[in-house]
């Protein structure tokens, strides 16, 4: 999949926006497009879908060339599924008719069995007869996703599909997208500015900044660098294996390189591979191993980098613990009081750990 | 109660209003669609021309239409060339005049309804494979349905109430151009107040019923464009 696009737009006097990207996107799995708002993520998706007619460049998806210097295939002829930021079901049609709208207009409709599976995966069968205004935000978005899939596209574009939802609904839809990903053989481009979503879903990450591609890489490598210049909170992604579960305490011990990290056991079983998320603001630093503290997770690590934080008076430490990276956001005062410097061995005390997979 | 002549005028009025409403929905829809979606600089001029009958005295409109459709007018010469003769003082002359007279009452509700549709719906439809024509038929028309209901009712009712334009170009030919409002005027001029009462009451009940119906269902059908008086 090849995408190389240029779009320059003057909206208003001061707002000049320029998109200039050159990308090769793998033909499978979820690729996240990540970046602050205004970085051109949505515009990029709209260009790929053919919704921005001013864009210049080349778009090739699967075997089809949708755009080059001679061709511009209009949106309705591109085999591209698009899930918009806000759920946008047609209000004059029932939920089921919304799905049929897509089915009727594709040349290659999904087989009945696949359709049933899709409804199953997104858990929307019982809601088919409802009207859109009778559905919750999360339900609407699940229908919007199903509708986009039913047009049987070669690629599915998702533009921050969770941003209009509350935390619980987000988590719910994320797991639906995950199961969808296992069920569909098509690649997805997932736009987000939430690190947790990216960390959880994506295999590959494209980081955008001011209309340009800043970094492209696998999710594990991307999250070893601090991304705090893009969003307020810097998150580290750790990969480990569940070693044991202590039922009494509802805790599971996860081996991450040479360190042990305790996490809520949920339904983890020994041997499972998990991705853990650690927010920089949940990590504090101690020069000695605290034994008189309620904090369970203390990880021996080495300071590899010290940067100025995004808020005044703070700084961001990059900590190396084996192959993995952690980030800690501490005050400059603590930095000076403790006399921290790069190369120093410290204990990272982790207050909370999120499980992403 | 009603004389045979009264019934003829009533019948003619309903026929005129029905024909005009159907034609106006056909003509008004593309005009409304264009006005709702265009960024063309001509939008202001076209919009103003469409709205002109809202404030123009009906006699002025009728006067120009009389000239326009008369033997020396452009449209008159056109219809003569087609072998149709000139239109003033015929039923179809009234239809053409009423099309102008009631145009804003049909175009504006539909235009408002089209303009209220979120552009996003058209984009969604496009990504689902709907062609531009398909998007108009499957998204724009059904979503603007309340606008069409308002437009049809207002266009019909407004044509029924027409007087000045008709008098200017239609005159007073029974069974051809004599509509209810003109008949009432004739009754009053002949000091036949009883007959004038009969027809006037009928018109009063009709107008009230139409508006009652519109305002009662306004919320339910989300009717738009109800902000015009007559």
User: Are A75 and B121 inside 8 Å of each other by CB?
Assistant: no
pLDDT value for A324 = 81
- What would the pLDDT profile of A88-104 be if each residue is shown by its tens digit? 899 999 999 999 999 99
- What would the pLDDT profile of A237-294 be if each residue is shown by its tens digit? 788 888 888 888 888 888 888 888 888 877 778 888 887 878 888 888 988 888 888 8
Beta bridge partners of A216: A206
The complex's ipTM works out to 0.78
- What would the pLDDT profile of B128-151 be if each residue is shown by its tens digit? 999 999 999 999 999 999 899 989
pLDDT band at A15 (very low <50, low <70, confident <90, very high): low
Q: Evaluate whether residue B171 is within a structural domain.
A: yes
* Cα torsion B173, B175, B181, B185: sign: positive
B1 touches chain A (CB under 8 A): no
Q: Which domain holds residue B77?
A: 4-224
pLDDT at residue A215 above 60?
Answer: yes
CATH code for position B18: 1.10.3720.10
pLDDT at residue A350 above 60?
Answer: yes
Token match 């145009």: residue?
B103
Q: Evaluate whether residue B139 is within a structural domain.
A: yes
Q: Is B75 exposed, middle or buried (0-12, 13-18, 19+ CB in 10 A)?
A: middle
Contact call for residues A346 and A287 (beta carbons, < 8 A)? yes
State whether residue A57 is helix, strand or coil: strand
Q: Evaluate whether residue B144 is within a structural domain.
A: yes
User: Are A76 and B118 inside 8 Å of each other by CB?
Assistant: no
A85 touches chain B (CB under 8 A): no
Q: Evaluate whether residue B229 is within a structural domain.
A: no
Q: Evaluate whether residue B174 is within a structural domain.
A: yes
Closest-CA distance, B113 to chain A, in angstroms, reads 14
Instruction: Using a cut of 0.80, tell me whether the model's pTM lies above it.
Output: no
A72 touches chain B (CB under 8 A): no
A161 touches chain B (CB under 8 A): no
B121 touches chain A (CB under 8 A): yes
pLDDT at residue A229 above 70?
Answer: no
Alpha-carbon distance of A226 to A222, in angstroms, equals 9
Q: Evaluate whether residue B70 is within a structural domain.
A: yes
**Which residue pairs, CB below 8 angstroms and at least 24 apart, start in A64-72?**
A64/A154
Q: Evaluate whether residue B230 is within a structural domain.
A: no
Chain A (228-287) residues lying within 8 Å, Cβ to Cβ, of chain B: none
Q: Evaluate whether residue B196 is within a structural domain.
A: yes
Look at chain B and report how many structural domains it folds into.
Answer: 1
Q: What are the tokens at A59? A: 């778009």
């Amino acid at each position: 999949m090849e995408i190389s696009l240029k779009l320059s737009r003057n909206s208003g006097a001061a707002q000049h926006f320029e998109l200039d990207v050159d990308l090769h996107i793998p033909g499978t799995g979820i690729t996240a497009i990540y970046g602050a708002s205004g970085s051109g993520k949505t515009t990029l998706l709209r260009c790929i879908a053919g919704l921005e007619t001013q864009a210049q460049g080349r778009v090739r998806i699967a075997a089809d060339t949708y755009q080059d210097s001679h061709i511009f295939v209009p949106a309705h002829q591109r085999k591209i599924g698009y899930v918009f930021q806000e759920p946008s079901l047609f209000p004059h049609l029932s939920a089921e008719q919304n799905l049929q709208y897509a089915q009727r207009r594709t040349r290659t409709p999904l087989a009945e069995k696949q359709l049933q599976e899709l409804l199953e995966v997104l858990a929307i069968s019982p809601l088919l007869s409802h009207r859109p205004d009778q559905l919750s935000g999360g339900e609407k978005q699940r229908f919007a996703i199903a509708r986009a899939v039913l047009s049987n596209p070669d690629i599915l574009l998702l533009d921050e599909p969770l941003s209009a939802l509350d935390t619980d609904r987000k988590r719910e839809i994320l797991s639906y997208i995950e199961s969808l990903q296992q069920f569909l053989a098509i690649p997805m481009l997932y736009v987000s500015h939430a690190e947790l979503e990216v960390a959880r879903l994506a295999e590959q990450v494209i980081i955008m900044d001011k209309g340009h591609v800043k970094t492209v890489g696998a999710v594990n490598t991307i999250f070893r660098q601090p991304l705090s210049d893009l969003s307020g909170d810097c998150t580290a992604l750790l990969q480990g294996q569940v070693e044991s579960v202590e039922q009494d305490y509802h805790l599971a011990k996860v081996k991450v390189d040479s360190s042990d990290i305790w996490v809520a056991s949920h339904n983890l079983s020994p041997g499972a591979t998990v991705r853990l998320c650690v927010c920089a603001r949940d990590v504090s630093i101690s020069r000695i191993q605290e034994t008189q503290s309620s904090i369970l997770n203390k990880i021996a690590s080495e300071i590899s980098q010290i940067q100025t934080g995004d808020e005044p008076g703070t700084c961001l430490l990059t900590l190396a613990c084996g192959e993995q990276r952690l980030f800690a956001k501490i005050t400059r005062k603590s930095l000076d009081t403790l006399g921290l410097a790069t190369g120093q061995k410290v204990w990272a005390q982790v207050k909370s750990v999120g499980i992403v997979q | 109660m009603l004389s045979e002549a009264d019934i003829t005028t009533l019948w003619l009025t309903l026929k005129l209003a029905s024909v005009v409403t159907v034609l106006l929905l056909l003509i008004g829809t593309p005009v409304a669609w264009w006005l709702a979606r265009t960024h063309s600089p001509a939008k202001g001029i076209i919009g103003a021309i469409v709205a002109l009958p809202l404030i123009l005295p009906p006699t002025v409109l009728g006067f120009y239409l009389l000239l326009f459709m008369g033997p020396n007018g452009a449209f008159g010469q056109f219809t003569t060339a087609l072998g149709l003769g000139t239109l003033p003082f015929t039923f179809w002359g009234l239809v053409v005049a009423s099309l102008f007279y009631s145009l804003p009452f049909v175009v504006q509700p539909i235009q408002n309804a089209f303009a209220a549709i979120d552009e996003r719906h058209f984009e969604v439809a496009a990504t689902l494979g709907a062609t531009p024509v398909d998007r108009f038929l499957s998204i724009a028309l059904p979503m603007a349905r309340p606008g069409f209901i308002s437009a049809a009712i207002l266009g019909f009712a407004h044509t029924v109430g027409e007087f000045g334009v008709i008098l200017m170009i239609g005159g007073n030919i029974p069974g051809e151009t004599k509509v209810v409002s003109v008949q009432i005027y004739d009754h009053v001029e002949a000091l036949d107040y009883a007959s004038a009462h009969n027809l006037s009451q009928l018109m009063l009940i009709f107008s009230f019923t139409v508006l009652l119906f519109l305002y009662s269902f306004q919320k339910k059908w989300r009717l738009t464009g109800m902000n015009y008086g007559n």
